[in-house]
Amino acid sequence: MRRLGWYAGSAVILLVAAVPVLWILSLSLKSPATVTDKRLWPSDPTLANYRSIAGSALFTHALLNSVGIGLITTVLAVVLATPAAYALTRLQFRGKALVLPLTLAIAVFPPVAIVGPLFDLWRALRLYDTWPGLVIPYLSFSVPLAMWTLAAAFRGVPWEMAEAAQADGATPWQSFRRVVLPLARPGMITAAILVFFFAWNDFVFAISLTSSDRSRTVPAALAFFPGDAQFAQPVGSIAAAAVVVTVPVLVAALVFQRRLVAGLTAGVVTR
Amino acid sequence: MTEAPPQPPRTRRKRRPRAGRRTAWLLTAPAVVVMLAVGAYPVGYAIWLSLQRYDLRFPSQRGFVGLGNYAAVLGARVFWTDLGATAVITAIAVTAELVLGFAIALTLRRGLAGRRAVHAALLLPYGIITVVAAFAWQYAATPDLSFLSGRAWLGERWSSFAVVIATEVWKTTPLAALLLLAGLAAVPEELMDTAKMDGATAWQRFRRVMLPGIRPVLLVVLLYRTLDSVRVFDTVFIQTNGANGTETVSLLAYDQLAGRLNLGLGSAVSVLLFLLSAAIALGFVWVFRADLRELYRPRPVEPDEPDPEDVW
């Protein structure tokens, strides 16, 4: 009886999680003639929508921008956050008590609160509609996020090993690089994936601080996809583009499944 | 000459922490400087802009107006309507996410064969970008495109809210479920069994054993999801763009800033939203006396501690 209930519950979870995704996939495979047939299974599957977005500079540029801006943000955030998270978990110093509230305060502010000033500043500094113009605001969220995740990872490192290495004559730097970093690497990968997700997902900054395919990322490009006919949204093309931006992220999420869940929950479970 | 053995160790002991302190700051400074420059500075600049009459379409009229913009925003009916819409979305979405997330976590706790597949499925909504999720649910709610029903869900107010909230709940319940599942794993099974043997009812076991055990996780989920819902933007922008009374405070700020180019008024709305978020966060910490520093403390290593990755 219990067993049956578990399977029923799991089936419902699977179904609810998957159906909207399958619906987008189905729409992306339909031709304009069948897009309104309301069938989940496309009667006449076609790759025309995919061909059309692959040939559209608007979409290919957006994809390139998303990947480039996401990767730069990820590298910078992890490089900045790793030493800070190490110091916060491992060392005592004056002012430490101020760093955490600052990190939290920045992590909780609504993005739209800095859209106005950034819009104004970026026009003056000529950063409007450029890659750095998005990377910089992304750092405001990703550095605290990475610090959070990495601090959780460093908390789990067995420090006796680093101390043993130092007792054997290693310098603090050597013990950090040879012993601590390898142990913390899974946490760093988790932090990197989460930061990349964040940058890949952002919408507010992407629509406010860009104006052309020079730096517009995929979420913004999707929102401003021009319709074939006036007043009609190009449903097939949007669906195909949505599938293209979803697949790599889902593959990453599934490949790093355990690590991702461990990272997402590590900061939460204190004991 | 008498020997003074304590001398050298003392200087060393004194010097060490100081050197350590300097290293600590050298390690922390880059991140702190960047956070101040890209986070705190724009917030300060937003506050500065909110005190000015500053409309990019009439730049010559720029001038200091004190709290004038705030008076204008707080005196405008639209602000309160949008605040109400934000509150509706937040209250319903966060409640639904907690209840459903807890139900899913309890289901998965008694995991049988195939739970890997369910875990993977939970990452599906989480891995999808919000804009795509918004389109998926918008199409599901559009009569011509939907396999669901012929109703124009986005045509009127409360059904529009229903679609927006469903999207938010679908997208973020999995994260709540995974966090709560991790929290449940920290509740010792023996404690539950002992309580059962002592004759505690299911409700008592839930109240007295399970709830205290997952309290910290519950708080994090509640705080995180509330703050996220209060600034809801992507879903509403895509699905209704504020039509049918579904405009949120974030959307109002965006509309003033990017649509009307009124940086003064728009910044005032943003700062109010920021103050609201800060008040919620501080309220949580104060009411629940949550000690967030706990998260940065080194964890004592226990030999029989389960590998966090084995939790599921």
Q: How far is B242 from chain A (nearest CA, A)?
A: 15
Contact call for B129 and A201, based on CB within 8 A: yes
pLDDT at position B2: 47
Could you tell me if A199 and A73 are in contact, meaning their C-beta atoms sit under 8 angstroms apart? yes
pLDDT at position A231: 47
pLDDT at position A1: 61
Could you tell me if A122 and A133 are in contact, meaning their C-beta atoms sit under 8 angstroms apart? yes
Lowest mean pLDDT segment, chosen from B4-13, B169-178, B196-205 = B4-13
pLDDT in tens, B246-299: 999 999 999 998 888 899 999 999 999 999 998 998 888 787 765 555 554 544
Which residues of chain B have a CB within 8 Å of the CB of A89?
296-298
pLDDT at position B289: 66
Phi first, then psi, for residue A163 (nearest 5°) are: -65, -40
Contact call for B139 and A38, based on CB within 8 A: no
Phi first, then psi, for residue B247 (nearest 5°) are: -65, 135
Whether the predicted pLDDT of B22 surpasses 90: no
Could you tell me if A179 and A165 are in contact, meaning their C-beta atoms sit under 8 angstroms apart? yes
User: How far apart (Å, rounded) are the C-alpha atoms in residues A154 and A86?
Assistant: 7
pLDDT at position B60: 84
Q: Which chain B residue has the Cα nearest residue A139?
A: B38
Share of chain B above pLDDT 90, in %: 35
Could you tell me if A203 and B234 are in contact, meaning their C-beta atoms sit under 8 angstroms apart? yes
Other CB atoms within 10 Å distance of the CB of residue A102 = 16
Which residues is B262 bridged to in the sheet? B55
Q: What is the mean pLDDT of chain B?
A: 82
Lowest mean pLDDT segment, chosen from A220-229, B42-51, B58-67 = A220-229
pLDDT in tens, B150-161: 677 787 888 899
Contact call for A204 and B234, based on CB within 8 A: yes
Whether the predicted pLDDT of B8 surpasses 70: no
Contact call for B170 and A258, based on CB within 8 A: no
Best mutation target among B25, B124, B138 (most A Cβ atoms within 10 Å) is B124
For the record, the structure tokens of B304 come out as 């029989």
ipTM, two decimals: 0.89
Tell me, yes or no, if the pTM score tops 0.95.
Answer: no
Which residues of chain B have a CB within 8 Å of the CB of A238?
135
Q: What share of chain B is helix, strand, coil (3-state, %, to 5)?
A: 75, 0, 25
> B63 in helix, strand or coil?
strand
For the record, the structure tokens of B264 come out as 């003064």
A112: number of CA atoms within 13 Å, CB side?
29
**Distance of CA A202 to CAs A73, A207, A250, Å?**
12, 9, 17
Other CB atoms within 10 Å distance of the CB of residue A196 = 22
> B97 in helix, strand or coil?
helix
User: How far apart (Å, rounded) are the C-alpha atoms in residues A138 and A141?
Assistant: 6
> Nearest-5° angle of CA A137, CA A142, CA A147?
140
pLDDT at position B9: 43
pLDDT in tens, B236-259: 999 998 888 899 999 999 999 888
Contact call for B183 and A18, based on CB within 8 A: no
A140: number of CA atoms within 13 Å, CB side?
26
Report the pLDDT averaged over residues B14-40.
Answer: 79
**Distance of CA B111 to CAs A2, A268, B50, B181, B185, Å?**
11, 21, 53, 11, 12
Report the pLDDT averaged over residues B75-92.
Answer: 96
Contact call for A6 and B107, based on CB within 8 A: yes
Other CB atoms within 10 Å distance of the CB of residue A41 = 10
pLDDT at position B263: 92
Could you tell me if B133 and B174 are in contact, meaning their C-beta atoms sit under 8 angstroms apart? no
Mean pLDDT per block of 10 residues along chain A (271 residues) reads 75 85 88 75 82 86 95 96 89 81 79 88 93 94 89 82 84 84 86 91 93 91 68 77 88 81 65 36
Share of chain B above pLDDT 70, in %: 83
